[in-house]
Every structure is written in C-alpha cells, then in structure tokens.
C-alpha cells in the first residue's frame, strides 16, 4: 500500500504564477479579459475543486481581468468552498434560477467592457465546449453589443500544456498508484471471471492503493485480441487465450493518469505477441523522439513508422497520444495535424495502436513528462513481452 | 453482498418508444429534426454508453429525423461500439481533426433541411450545454443560412422526466446498493479516521455492493455540523461530536442514485438532533405531497413550510430536490420557479436543507418514484433520529 499522504492543493504562488502568465498573454494578444465557464479552467485559476460539476443544473463563471485576481461568479451553494481559495471577489446568486442563472451578474461585470468596446476572450476552439445554456450565452451577448469576442483557447492551451513541478508531482503520484495496481494483475484477473468483475476488482485495488477516483476505466477482452478500446465491461467471462486490456484515467487531487495494460489469459497466440512487440517498439521510438523542440507531428511519425512496417491496414483512432493533466485528454495531439513543439514539462501520453487480424486492435500507453534530455516516465514501463496471467 | 446481476441494457422496443414519442412531440412543435451533442441524449436514443465522454477532445453528434431511426455522426473510434446499438446509419470521421471535426458530415446531413428552410431543434435551455466547440457550431450554422433553429429542450425534457419501468428498475437497483452501503456505516466510519479515509472506505464498500462507479461523493464533517455540502474530503480526522454527511451519486448501468446520510460521531448535540428531526419531518411532508398532479412548486412549499418553523435565516441552495436518472440532477426542480406538474413515473429526489447555528447546514435526501397514490421510495428511508456511530 502506497503512502497516500502526498501533498494536496497548491501554494498560493502557484495560482499567482498562472494568473501572471495569463495576463501577460492576454496583453500580448490584445485581450482585456477572459470569461471562463468550464471546470478545468475555473479550478486552474482558483483551486476550486468539487465533484458538484457532475450536476449539469448550475452554470459557474470566472472572469480574468487584465489586472487583479480572478472574479468568481458562481451559485451561492459554492460560496463557502470558493471562499477557501485565494480569490477575494466572489459574486453569487441563488441558483438554479432559469430566468436569470447568473446572467445579470455577468452583464453587470461586463457592461463597462462592452461600453468601451473591449476585446474579451472565451474558449471556443478545439477540445473545448461552452458549459452554460446556449440560449443564456446568446442572450447575454445580445445585451453586450459593443463587446469584441475572440477565442481564448490559444492562451489557455499555452498555459495548461506546460505543467509546474507541483502538477507533475500529482500526475506522477497517480501514475505510480495505477502502476502498482496493474502490478497486482495476477491477483485480480483470472479465467472464468466476468469482465465486470475484473473491472470492479481493479477499481477496488486502485482505490486501496490511494487513488481518489476512477472516472475512466474502459477496455475489452477477446480471443487473440479485443475489437474496440472505449467499451464498458460486459458479463463475458475471461477465457483462455483472451487478450485483456484495461485503460484507466484515475485521479489524485484532481490530476489524471491515463494509461492501459494488456494481459494474455493463460496463453497468447503469435499474432497478439507480435503486435504487442511492435507496439512496444513504437513506444520506445516515441520515448526516443520526445524531446524539447520536437513537433507532435514528428513524434507521431516516429511511432507510426514502426507500426507501418507491420500493419496491413492503418487504424483510425486519429492520433497516437495527447496531453494529460486536469483532464483525461488535453492538448496537444500526437497527430499529423498538430505542429505543437514539445517543451520541457509538458506531460503527455504515448499511445500507439494498431489493427491486426480480422477487426482486432491493440493499444499501448505510457505517461511521461518531457525534460531537457530523455523524458521522465511517470507510468512504470510495460513489460517488453505480452504478460501472461494464469 | 447484493446480487449484481440485475438486467443491463434495454430491449430495442425501449428505444423505439423513446423515438416515437420524440417524433410525436417534434411534429406537434413543428420541428423537422433535432441535432444532439450531449452524452445523456445520445445514450437515451441509442443505448451508446462509454466513459470515453470523459475525454473532451472529440465531439459526438446524433440527429433525430421526423421519420426513421436516429443518425449517428461520430468519431471513428466509436464505430464498433455504436454498431452494437439498434442504429443503422452511423457516419464517422477520423477524429480528432481540428480543421473539420465532423462539421462537413453535419453540413452534408443538414444542408437539404437548410435549403428547404426547415425548423431544427438544438438543446439550448436550462440545465443543458452545447458539447462541441462553439466556433465549430457558429461556423456550421453560418454555412446553413436557411435553417430555422429553435430550442429542443422542452421536448427532450418532457421525454426524459418520465421514466420507463426498465429505467426505474436501474435507479432502484443503485439506490438499494447505496442503501446497503450506508447501512454499513458503523463498520466504515470511526473517530480518528480522516475524512479522506472515510470516503475511500465508502467507495470500496459501494463497489463491492455492486455499483459500477461513484462519479459523485461529497460531504463534510464538523463539530455539531458541517458548513457546506459540495466539498471533497480533507485530511481532517473525525472527532467525537462531529456530524458526518456523505452524499453519493453512484451509478448502475448508466443510472444514478443521489442521496445522502448524516451520522453523529459518538454523540450529537441537541441543536443537530433537532435540525435532523425537522428535516426528517420536512421529508415526510414531501413524501405526502409527492402525488401526480402536484406542482414542483407546491412540493417545495410542503417541505419549506416545515423548515420555516425552525430556521432563523433561510438557506440559499436554490431548491429542495430535483429529477434523477441518467444524470445526477435532472429537470424538474422543487423550487418556487418550477411549475412542472408531477406525473406518474417521474423519479425525483426530496432534498430539504436548512441552516442552523453559526454557518452550519444540514441536508436530508431520499429518492423516489411518483406513483398513482403514495410514491415508491427507492432509497431505504433514513432513520427518524440522527444515528450515532461509536
């Protein structure tokens, strides 16, 4: 059992740095403020953390001004928790109130900006969504006709892609917890057990190892291989010759790991073994390519060139890894479309996958932080050969 | 340990009925189709269930035509899982693809509707959000100038508020699992234990009792009472005289329970006992009022009138309960603003809360299904007196 007393929260200077960087970028992009509506962003700038976001009922807002601390515009039910953060200006209303769910408060906050024809950023780019009713958003913007709305995604993305040491420590901690849990595979999984039981056993194990939550556990099993990589478990019993894969996004103090492991039940056929070995080599190629200055596109190519030597028909999951942190998947993407240049302290996954046989697919995944020199693995490296259970 | 083999999934006729009702309402509202982007709605009409929604990277779409089955427009990574649903028309693209993340496919699908100046619904009302990049939405709609966009929230809300017996069975099952887990409180919680350990112990218990996941577990503890109801657990040790509250939204087969329980550690003071007793009576009043034909506003008043006799300053959480199902909180709200009339087979929470002492708050919660006559409790009724542990 891990020591589960790894530090929680962040010192105030962490939030001060994040805000300073945001305000610097706002100035250089000509923005007078940023309006945020999403969980990860509100937490990023305040430390406000609650599972209450699971309830879709209430919207939550934060405004980053060009100078001074963020302003929280939130339901009254969150006042006590928000007042424990470093923020001073917390404006609340009794929510839910469908006729005016924070819109008057936002209008009051933004109307001076609108009168002065200021430029305000909102997140509207790739991998974002507007976490408030669209009709409320449209209504608010109609009432603020002078406002020049621009996309704040590039600024937030730049900030969030590179992690602080305190963030890396949290991601490293949950990666260690998941690694220790996967290391118990031979005690957790066995022939005859249903996939549902296998998943349940893994969830209990990872909680006992110190994870706070397991928001994501998907996978599959099948004779010689599985056929998709996003399914919930079924009642299907594990059988001899199955390849079992579990992919977990577990959380410690609001930060995710995201990696999978493959196991053969009793024995593995040559095809599965060979596919595993190719993906292991593709991951090695990724580890060798993941250096500051490399583009995500080049990182993709380094992995894909190994896979291409073995794969008859290229799979179509769209990318071979991504950023990792407060969300299960974050910018950037290791894909042909992404020219993002890797920088020190970006936390990423390497996730080569390939199709084989008739409709089977296999995925490998590791989590690492880009450093000056070789990357630091946060997940314990998967074994070089497909592990056999039983 | 519960029998965890309660039926999963739905027969195809369940989806046929949902679609038929939707199409009937679309006709009566003058809609030619509905475009959906959110997890609950895609699942409601297809059965497509995956935790992959945890990844914000890829958008997923579904279109409900006026005749014929829903059309899925989804990332290729979901094709295999979607093809196991009752849908026939599944259109995919290799996602992520920031330059065109499904937008061309949606344009192709909707352009004929735009040419014919049709009316298409999207969800933009209370408790909804647009789960796709706002810039992509704006871009798409600019390319479909003839389309008459209206709010589909009233239609979807009408459908989803009333549950089928198969849905009620799933909610009842997870409520039973959570009830059995709370019944183990004396084995799970104790003086000196940190809140984090207490929460972890409860998560393990509820998984062992048969829950699939625990997306929501919040609560608090404090001498004579807790101060907010949405916090994650801290390292604070449970102390004699504390009131401990845990509120769980656990899941079985994609359906939630949502209720809490209060416990006194070793002993409870008179103030906490009296508050508990008032809230118990408020819940009784809610149970007596929850009948087909009653409005949510009247249900609110029935509970609030009990609380008002004891509460010095009215709390401000906005409502005293809500709908429950595929999401932790759903329409309607038991609040002054909500004139929704209760109907048979609505599944709701009763959640009276009151403030007391200096900044303390207490919450009670039960889950029930409205029936012809008295409601059917899905959670095992909390004890009439504040239970003491230790």
Residue A304 counted as domain residue:
yes
Mean pLDDT of chain B: 96
Same-domain pairing of A347 and A219: yes
Of B95, B133, B216, the CB nearest to A128: B133
Question: Count of domains in chain B?
Answer: 2
What was the pLDDT predicted at A218?
Answer: 96
Same-domain pairing of B178 and B148: no
- What whole-number distance in Å separates Cα of residue B52 and Cα of residue B95? 13
What was the pLDDT predicted at B1?
Answer: 39
Count CA atoms closer than 13 A to B215's CA, side-chain side. Answer: 22
**Percent of the residues in chain B that have a pLDDT greater than 90, as a whole number:** 94
Same-domain pairing of B357 and B276: yes
> Is the CB of A81 less than 8 angstroms away from the CB of B228?
yes
* Interhelix angle A296-308/A270-289, nearest 10 degrees: 150
Query: In the sheet that B322-323 helps form, which strands lie side by side, from edge to edge?
Result: B330-333, B322-323, B347-350, B366-369, B376-377
SS3 for chain A is CCCCCCCCCCCHHHHHHHHHHHHHHHHHHCCCEEEECCHHHHHHHHCCCCHHHHCCCCCCEEEEECCCCCEEEEEHHHHHHHCCCCCCCEEEECCCCCCCCCHHHHHHHHHHHHHCCCEEEECCCCCCCECCCHHHHHHHHHCCCCCEEEECHHHHHHHHHECCHHHHHHHHHHHHHHHHHHCCHHHHCCCCCEHHHHHHHHHHHHHHHCCCEEEEEEEEEEECCECCCCCCCCCCECCCCEEEEEEEEEEECCEECCEEEEEEECCCCHHHHHHHHHHHHHHHHHHHHCCCCCEHHHHHHHHHHHHHCCCCCCCCCCCCCEECCCCCCEEEECCCCCCCECCCCEEEEECCEEEECCCEEEECCEEEECCCCCCEECCCCCCCCCCEEC
Of A57, A81, A98, the CB nearest to B337: A98
- What whole-number distance in Å separates Cα of residue A78 and Cα of residue A89? 13
Burial class (CB in 10 A: 0-12, 13-18, 19+), A261: buried
Cβ(B63)–Cβ(B109) below 8 Å: yes
CATH of the domain at B84: 3.40.350.10
- Chain A: residue whose CA lies nearest to B359: A80
> Is the CB of B203 less than 8 angstroms away from the CB of A207?
yes
Same-domain pairing of B294 and B241: yes
A125 to chain B: which residues are within 8 Å by CB?
98, 133, 135
- Chain B: residue whose CA lies nearest to A211: B200
Residue A189 counted as domain residue:
yes
> Is the CB of A333 less than 8 angstroms away from the CB of B8?
no
> Is the CB of B126 less than 8 angstroms away from the CB of A200?
no
Same-domain pairing of B149 and B170: no
Of B143, B160, B177, the position where a domain reaches its end is B160
Of A131, A227, A317, the CB nearest to B77: A317
The answer, yes or no, to whether residue B312 has pLDDT greater than 90, is no
- Chain A: residue whose CA lies nearest to B100: A126
> Is the CB of A216 less than 8 angstroms away from the CB of B54?
yes
Cβ(A249)–Cβ(A215) below 8 Å: yes
Residue B64's nearest CA partner among B112, B30, B117, B20 is B20
Write the pLDDT tens digit of every residue in A156-199: 999 999 999 999 999 999 999 999 999 999 999 999 999 999 99
Q: Find residue A209's DSSP bridge partners.
A: none
Cβ(B203)–Cβ(B242) below 8 Å: no
Write the pLDDT tens digit of every residue in B131-158: 999 999 999 999 999 999 999 999 999 9
Cβ(A87)–Cβ(A72) below 8 Å: yes
Residue A104 counted as domain residue:
yes
> Is the CB of A4 less than 8 angstroms away from the CB of B196?
yes
Same-domain pairing of B103 and B207: no
A318 to chain B: which residues are within 8 Å by CB?
58, 75-77, 94-97
Give residues with Cβ within 8 angstroms of B133, minimum separation 6: A124, A125, A126, A127, A128, A129, B59, B101
> Is the CB of A50 less than 8 angstroms away from the CB of B123?
no
> Is the CB of A200 less than 8 angstroms away from the CB of B207?
yes
Residue A232 counted as domain residue:
yes
Q: Find residue B256's DSSP bridge partners.
A: B251
- Chain A: residue whose CA lies nearest to B122: A134
> Is the CB of B130 less than 8 angstroms away from the CB of A134?
yes
What was the pLDDT predicted at B228?
Answer: 87
Q: Find residue B93's DSSP bridge partners.
A: B75
CATH of the domain at B282: 3.90.230.10
> Is the CB of A235 less than 8 angstroms away from the CB of B128?
no
> Is the CB of A335 less than 8 angstroms away from the CB of B96?
yes
Residue A3 counted as domain residue:
no
> Is the CB of B132 less than 8 angstroms away from the CB of A129?
yes
A101 to chain B: which residues are within 8 Å by CB?
126
Name the pLDDT band for B40 (thresholds 50, 70, 90): very high
Same-domain pairing of B56 and B26: yes
Same-domain pairing of B49 and B62: yes
> Is the CB of A208 less than 8 angstroms away from the CB of B204?
yes
A57 to chain B: which residues are within 8 Å by CB?
126-127, 322, 329, 333
Of B160, B176, B198, the position where a domain reaches its end is B160
What was the pLDDT predicted at B3?
Answer: 47
Name the pLDDT band for B12 (thresholds 50, 70, 90): very high
What was the pLDDT predicted at A341?
Answer: 98
Give residues with Cβ within 8 angstroms of B85, minimum separation 6: B15, B46, B47, B48
Of A100, A131, A160, the position where a domain reaches its end is A160
Residue B194's nearest CA partner among B224, B166, B233 is B233
Which ranges of chain A have pLDDT less than 50? 1-4
What's the distance, CA B9 to chain centroid? 18
Cβ(B338)–Cβ(B260) below 8 Å: no
> Is the CB of A54 less than 8 angstroms away from the CB of B249?
yes
* Interhelix angle B195-209/A195-209, nearest 10 degrees: 170
B122 to chain A: which residues are within 8 Å by CB?
134
Pairing outcome for strands A259-265 and A388-389 = parallel
> Is the CB of A322 less than 8 angstroms away from the CB of B134?
no
Chain B: nearest CA to A24, how far in angstroms? 24
> Is the CB of A316 less than 8 angstroms away from the CB of B77?
yes
Residue A7 counted as domain residue:
no
Chain B: nearest CA to A215, how far in angstroms? 7
Q: What is the mean predicted confidence (pLDDT) over B107-129?
A: 98
Same-domain pairing of A220 and A130: no
Same-domain pairing of B50 and B198: no
The answer, yes or no, to whether residue B4 has pLDDT greater than 60, is no
Report the complex ipTM: 0.96
Of A125, A228, A329, the CB nearest to B80: A228
SS3 for chain B is CCCCCCCCCCCHHHHHHHHHHHHHHHHHHCCCEEEECCHHHHHHHHCCCCHHHHCCCCCCEEEEECCCCCEEEEEHHHHHHHCCCCCCCEEEECCCCCCCCCHHHHHHHHHHHHHCCCEEEECCCCCCCECCCHHHHHHHHHCCCCCEEEECHHHHHHHHHECCHHHHHHHHHHHHHHHHHHCCHHHHCCCCCEHHHHHHHHHHHHHHHCCCEEEEEEEEEEECCECCCCCCCCCCECCCCEEEEEEEEEEECCEECCEEEEEEECCCCHHHHHHHHHHHHHHHHHHHHCCCCCEHHHHHHHHHHHHHCCCCCCCCCCCCCEECCCCCCEEEECCCCCCCECCCCEEEEECCEEEECCCEEEECCEEEECCCCCCEECCCCCCCCCCEEC
Same-domain pairing of B187 and B104: no
Rama region for A64: left / alpha / beta (φ>0; ψ in -120 to 50; rest): beta
Give the number of other Cβ atoms within 10 Å of residue B250's Cβ.
Answer: 28
Which of B230, B233, B258, B314 to mutate against chain A (most A CBs within 10 Å)? B230
What was the pLDDT predicted at B317?
Answer: 64
Rama region for A266: left / alpha / beta (φ>0; ψ in -120 to 50; rest): left
> Is the CB of A322 less than 8 angstroms away from the CB of B57?
yes
Same-domain pairing of B186 and B303: yes
- Chain B: residue whose CA lies nearest to A319: B96
Chain A: nearest CA to B261, how far in angstroms? 17
Q: How many CB pairs under 8 A join A and B?
A: 209
Which of B40, B44, B54, B161 to mutate against chain A (most A CBs within 10 Å)? B54
Residue B7 counted as domain residue:
no
What was the pLDDT predicted at A5?
Answer: 59
Buried b (16+ CB within 10 A) or exposed e, B178-194: bbbbbeebeebbbeebb
Residue B6 counted as domain residue:
no
Q: Find residue A222's DSSP bridge partners.
A: A243
Question: In which domain, by residue range, is B17 found?
Answer: 12-160
């Amino acid at each position: 059992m891990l020591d589960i007393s790894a530090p929680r929260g962040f010192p105030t200077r962490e939030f001060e740095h994040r805000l300073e960087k945001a305000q610097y970028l706002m100035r250089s992009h000509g923005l007078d403020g940023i309006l945020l509506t999403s969980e990860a962003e509100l937490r990023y700038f305040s430390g406000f953390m609650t599972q209450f976001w699971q309830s879709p009922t209430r919207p939550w807002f934060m405004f980053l001004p060009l100078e001074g601390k963020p302003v929280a515009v939130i339901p009254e039910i969150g006042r006590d928790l928000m007042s424990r953060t470093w923020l001073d200006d917390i404006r609340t209303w009794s929510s839910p109130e469908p006729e005016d769910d924070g819109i008057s408060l936002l209008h009051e906050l933004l109307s001076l900006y609108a009168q002065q024809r200021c430029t305000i950023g909102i997140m509207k780019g790739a991998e974002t969504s507007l976490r408030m009713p669209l009709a409320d958003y449209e209504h608010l913007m109609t009432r603020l006709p002078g406002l020049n709305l621009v996309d704040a995604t590039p600024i937030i993305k730049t900030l969030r892609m590179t992690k602080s040491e305190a963030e890396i420590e949290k991601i490293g901690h949950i990666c260690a917890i998941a690694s220790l849990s996967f290391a118990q595979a031979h005690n957790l999984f066995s022939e005859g057990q249903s996939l549902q039981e296998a998943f349940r056993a893994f969830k209990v194990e990872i909680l006992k190892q110190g994870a706070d939550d397991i928001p994501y556990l998907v996978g599959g099993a099948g004779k010689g291989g599985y056929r998709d990589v996003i399914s919930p478990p079924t009642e299907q019993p594990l059988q001899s010759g199955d390849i079992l894969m579990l992919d977990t996004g577990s959380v410690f103090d609001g930060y995710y790991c995201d990696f999978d492991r493959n196991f053969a039940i009793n024995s593995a056929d040559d095809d599965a073994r060979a596919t595993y070995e190719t993906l292991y080599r593709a991951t090695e190629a990724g580890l060798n390519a993941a250096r500051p200055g490399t583009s995500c596109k080049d990182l993709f190519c380094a992995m894909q060139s190994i896979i291409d030597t073995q794969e008859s028909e290229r799979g179509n999951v769209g990318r071979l890894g991504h950023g990792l942190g407060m969300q299960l998947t974050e910018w950037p993407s290791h894909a042909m479309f992404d020219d993002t240049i890797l920088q020190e302290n970006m936390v990423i996954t390497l996730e080569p996958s390939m199709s084989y046989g008739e409709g089977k697919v296999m995925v490998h995944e590791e989590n690492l932080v880009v450093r000056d020199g070789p990357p630091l693995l946060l997940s314990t490296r998967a074994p070089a050969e497909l592990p056999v259970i039983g």
